[in-house]
Amino acid sequence: MDIQFEDLTYEVKPPFWQTKVPSRTILKSVNGRFSAGELSCIMGPSGAGKSSLLNTLSGYNYKGVSGTLKLNSQVRDEKLFRKLSCYIMQEDKIQPMLTLNEVMMFAAELKLSNGTLTKEKQMIVTEIQNVLGLSESKNTRTEFLSGGQKKRLSIALELINNPPIIFLDEPTSGLDNVSSTYCLQLLRGLAHQGRTIVCTIHQPSASMFQLFDHVYVLSQGYCVYQGSTDQLVPFLSTVGLHCPLTYNPADYIIEATDGEEQDNIEKLTAATINGKQSLYKTRDVNNCYLNEDTTKSGELLLPELNGNVITTKLLPLPPIKYKADDEVDNDDDDEDDVVKPGNTWCVDFPTSGWSQFCTLWKRMILQLYRNKLGLNIQFYHHLICGLAVGIVFYGKANDGEQFFNHMKFCMGNILFHTFTQSMVQVLAFPSEVKLLKQEYFNRWYSLRPYFLALQLSRVPSIIFFSSIYTTLVYFMSGLPYELLRFSMFNIICLLVCFVSEGMGLLVGAVFNVTNGSAVGPMMIAPFLGLAIYGFDFAHQVPWIMEFVMQASFLRCGVIGLVITVFGLNREPLHCDTGYCHFKDPNIIIYYLNVDRKHPYFEIIKLVVMLLLFRFLTYFALRRRLTS
Ligand SMILES: Nc1ncnc2c1ncn2[C@@H]1O[C@H](COP(=O)(O)OP(=O)(O)OP(=O)(O)O)[C@@H](O)[C@H]1O
């Protein structure tokens, strides 16, 4: 499938509050073509606009983009194009805590249709592992893979559903020369089977440069060369730029077009008519380069890696029919697309929402269970904090003289759950969002099943750890051995956990770790202020403040605990000094002006807040994934 672009402009506007900063044009009416069966690269000096062009062509950037994008000479349908292409980002974002084979099998579960048997999925996965030289590491956990293996795994994951168009941002970054060459040879082999492979590369060595069929050179947002690698030097000579024989042509053109060589940029842009003019080597009758990497027996010969020559069968590309007019999908709702018969590329999601949910849930549970260090930290955190709070308030729950300690006990428990659950998500979720963004962009699954799996996968561990803490503090503090009271105590603490987790997820969905770790506590602060406001003058709190205080889930939790601890027909407390003002628990309840409140009402409010934070997180994620 050939990609063409005409008068492509990409303009970045400053944020609305920076009124004096002008908008910036990154790509300036560039033109070009990337053909099927070729390994193409976008080159240029740093800041030339390579990543911007790749992001624009892949559909990753769409705001501020103007011009015409075509597929096989027809204006492309973006939605269909997304199904035909995949984008492998520079940073290798790979699911942690799983082995290479498991990661690939989960990807196969998500990317191959429900009708494909597990045996067949494993065969496809094994074949790709063989082709990409990953079979020896298939049982290695992804975090222990080398940089080159990670890069090949990123490619392997996207090859599972065999897309005809692959975009890669800097596939060789962070790799040594041998691994880079191996990676490019691999991509060249895949391209020569009929795929369109486009990657950006900063400055390839001479040997790497020769592996590309087609190069597109950008400088300052203009196209300064487009054509085959072997035509570059003759082309440069026509405009008076003579590349010495011993010089790497890639280095030469980058040096000749860096920011200070304005004349050269203008000359070359004019000569290529900003990409409209291209210089190709001879093609065969099928308008495709002769495939020198493919042997007659249908095997792909890959270079030697660690002493082994990898010879394997090709990953054939199925025949692809593309007729933009026929295939335009007018359904606006991404989630409800149906399979169009006869063309497997037209499936929005190859698996059902339920199947996506099950696969994602299994993957999340496995990752959670494998994260032994994380589980141990959480276990000891809850155990030690539970013991510490239990010791501090040991036997005090029955003491009529300890009014302030009773309040500290209720608030302390709520604060413990709030900080524990929210901060874990604030710190952990942003990295998961990056992974989600890549998988979502490459259409592995839709957001709804992911979100549901995310919510449900954490429930068992939150219940388990929270119960350890609450059981310890409940019994060590000396609260009555009553099932209803103990259950209510647990439920209220659990609901605070879930609301706080939701708040942490919301912050993690919107902000990165650095900003989130400031915003997270900042968000808790007003809720905390509202939670403790007015307890010592509860009957004089103005109605407006009473109304505002309802918004604090911490207050709901504290009131819920106060009523649970001192309400529900609690027996009078002990009093050793003869007179204790708060000996009767009803006086505490009255003093705090919660005598007309019921714990069930606080529970309902907490459930509403729990749902509210979930909805906000869902919409924040949706916005993040589509912006
Ligand atoms: N969203 C953005 N807002 C402002 N400037 C941007 C934005 N995206 C890109 N730029 C600017 O556009 C120019 C081109 O960026 P781009 O990342 O495409 O360059 P590049 O050729 O890939 O560079 P490098 O090789 O250094 O990665 C840079 O000067 C960059 O600062």
- Determine the residue of 25, 30, 46, 51 to mutate for testing ligand 1's pocket, defined as the one with the most ligand atoms within 8 A of the Cβ atom: 51
CA of 7 to the centre of ligand 1 (A): 19
> In this predicted structure, what is the pLDDT of residue 314?
43
Residue of 157, 216, 155, 222 whose CA lies nearest to 189: 155
CA of 103 to the centre of ligand 1 (A): 32
> In this predicted structure, what is the pLDDT of residue 105?
95
> In this predicted structure, what is the pLDDT of residue 147?
84
> In this predicted structure, what is the pLDDT of residue 144?
93
Q: What is d(CA 382, CA 467) in angstroms, rounded to the nearest whole number?
A: 9
CA of 130 to the centre of ligand 1 (A): 36
Among protein residues, the one whose CA lies closest to atom 7 of ligand 1:
12
For residue range 463-503, what is the model confidence (pLDDT) as tens digits?
Answer: 999 999 999 999 999 999 999 999 999 999 999 999 999 99
Long-range Cβ contacts of 143-146 (<8 Å, 24+ apart): 143/96, 143/97, 145/94, 145/100, 146/179
Indicate if the pLDDT at residue 597 is higher than 80: no
CA of 25 to the centre of ligand 1 (A): 10
- Percent pLDDT > 90 in the chain is 41
Among protein residues, the one whose CA lies closest to atom 23 of ligand 1:
47
Helices and strands: H and E segment counts in the chain: 22, 12
For residue range 97-123, what is the model confidence (pLDDT) as tens digits?
Answer: 999 999 999 999 998 887 788 898 998
Using an 8 Å Cβ cutoff, are 31 and 5 in contact? yes
Indicate if the pLDDT at residue 339 is higher than 60: no
Among protein residues, the one whose CA lies closest to atom 8 of ligand 1:
52
Dihedral sign, Cα of residue 232, residue 235, residue 241, residue 244: positive
Q: What is the mean pLDDT of residues 76-82?
A: 84
> In this predicted structure, what is the pLDDT of residue 155?
87
Task: Locate all alpha helices (DSSP H) within 98-137, ordered by sequence.
Answer: 100-111, 118-131
Backbone angles phi, psi at 35, to 5 degrees: -100, 160
Instruction: Provide the ipTM.
Output: 0.95
- Determine the residue of 8, 52, 258 to mutate for testing ligand 1's pocket, defined as the one with the most ligand atoms within 8 A of the Cβ atom: 52
Residue 276 corresponds to which amino acid? K
Q: Which residues, in sequence order, are bridge partners of residue 304?
A: 309
> Which atom belonging to ligand 1 lies closest to the Cα atom of 49?
18
> Which atom belonging to ligand 1 lies closest to the Cα atom of 44?
21
Q: Compute CA distances 45 → 21, 223, 235, 418, whole Å.
A: 25, 12, 19, 49
Protein residues whose CB sits closer than 6 Å to any atom of ligand 1: 12, 24, 26, 44, 46-52, 202
What element of type H or E holds 166?
strand 165-168
> In this predicted structure, what is the pLDDT of residue 112?
87
Residue of 455, 447, 448, 444 whose CA lies nearest to 499: 455
Residue of 212, 210, 231, 215 whose CA lies nearest to 279: 231
> In this predicted structure, what is the pLDDT of residue 280?
62
> In this predicted structure, what is the pLDDT of residue 100?
95
Among protein residues, the one whose CA lies closest to atom 31 of ligand 1:
47
More reliable by pLDDT, 15 or 288:
15
CA of 222 to the centre of ligand 1 (A): 13
